[in-house]
């Protein structure tokens, strides 16, 4: 079967790759492009460990074909920090110890960043609903929610060291 040639933008960089028609975007990221930050959990869109941003929407990269990425703009966990400077969500995950095993963390951070990109002042309830598609079996979620709400406060300029 002919491989698909795909030109796309990943984390701001033009990227070209070849993929099989049935390869998911997650397969391509991990196996072809060596971007292994996105994790494969359930492969059925339930766990959110493979969350990426595609043209502004968070999606499960396990439920998108690599071929569909043609001409799209994709942001993965590898594109969330700016160089050595962590995104406030990443910084607050560290400060609040919002991770234990860490497997779900990239998905949570990408999803939380996308929430704060469109709403800098989410309520706890909005945050919990937004992150309902990300499963964590370690933390019990509370520290994650605190970290995201705290990151929002930083991004609103309500805490020192907020500049980004």
Partner 1 sequence: MPNLSFTAPTTVDEAIRALASAPGLAKPLAGGTDLLVQMRSGRMRPEVIVDIKRIPDLIGIRETDDSFVIGAATPGVMLSEHEAFSRAWPGIVEGVDLIGSQQIQGRASLVGNLCNASPAADSVPALITAHAVAVIAGPDGRREAPVEAIVTGPGQTSLKKGEFVVEFRVPKPKPRQSDAYLRFIPRTEMDIAVVGCGINVTLDAAGLCTDARVVLGAVAPTQLIVDDAAQALIGHRLDDDTLSRLDAAAQRACKPINDKRGTIEYRTKVAGVLARRAAAIAFERAAGRVAGVH
Per-residue binding string, partner 1, 79-108, x by CB under 8 A, is: ------------------------------
- CA 78-81-87 angle, to 5 degrees, is 130
Instruction: Give the nearer residue to partner 1 in terms of CB position, either 51 or 105.
Output: 51
Give the 3-state secondary structure percentages of the chain, helix then strand then coil, rounded to 5.
Answer: 40, 20, 45
Instruction: Give the nearer residue to partner 1 in terms of CB position, either 20 or 31.
Output: 20
Binds partner 1 by CB under 8 A, chosen from 29, 35, 67, 116? 67
Residue 1 contacts partner 1 per CB under 8 A: yes
Tokens describing residue 54: 């595609």
14: helix, strand or coil:
strand
Q: How many residues bind partner 1 (CB under 8 A)?
A: 32
Per-residue binding string, partner 1, 22-61, x by CB under 8 A, is: x-x------------------xxxx-x--x--x--xxxx-
- Single out the residue of 40, 67, 146 nearest to residue 99, CA to CA: 146
Integer-rounded Cα Rg, in Å, for the chain is 16
Instruction: Give the nearer residue to partner 1 in terms of CB position, either 42 or 94.
Output: 42
Binds partner 1 by CB under 8 A, chosen from 94, 97, 101, 132? 132
Q: Find the Cα–Cα–Cα–Cα dihedral 127, 162, 81, 104, rounded to 10°.
A: -30
Decide: 111 and 128 in contact? Cβ < 8 Å: no
Query: In the complex, which residues of this chain contact partner 1 (CB under 8 A)?
Result: 1-2, 4, 20-22, 24, 43-46, 48, 51, 54, 57-60, 62-65, 67-68, 70, 111, 129-134
């Amino acid at each position: 079967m002919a491989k698909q040639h795909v030109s796309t933008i990943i984390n701001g960089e033009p990227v070209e790759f070849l993929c099989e028609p049935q390869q998911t975007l997650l397969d391509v990221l991990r196996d072809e492009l060596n971007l292994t930050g996105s994790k494969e959990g359930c492969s059925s869109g339930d766990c959110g460990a493979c969350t990426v941003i595609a043209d502004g929407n968070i999606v499960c990269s396990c439920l998108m074909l690599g071929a569909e990425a043609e001409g799209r703009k994709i942001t993965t966990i590898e594109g969330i920090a700016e160089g050595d400077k962590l995104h406030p969500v990443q910084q607050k995950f560290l400060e609040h110890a919002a991770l234990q095993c860490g497997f779900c963390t990239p998905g949570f951070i990408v999803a939380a960043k996308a929430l704060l990109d469109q709403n800098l002042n989410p309520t706890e309830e909005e945050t919990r609903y937004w992150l309902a598609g990300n499963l964590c079996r370690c933390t019990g979620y509370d520290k994650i929610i605190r970290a995201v709400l705290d990151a929002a406060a930083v991004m609103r300029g309500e805490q020192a060291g907020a500049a980004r």
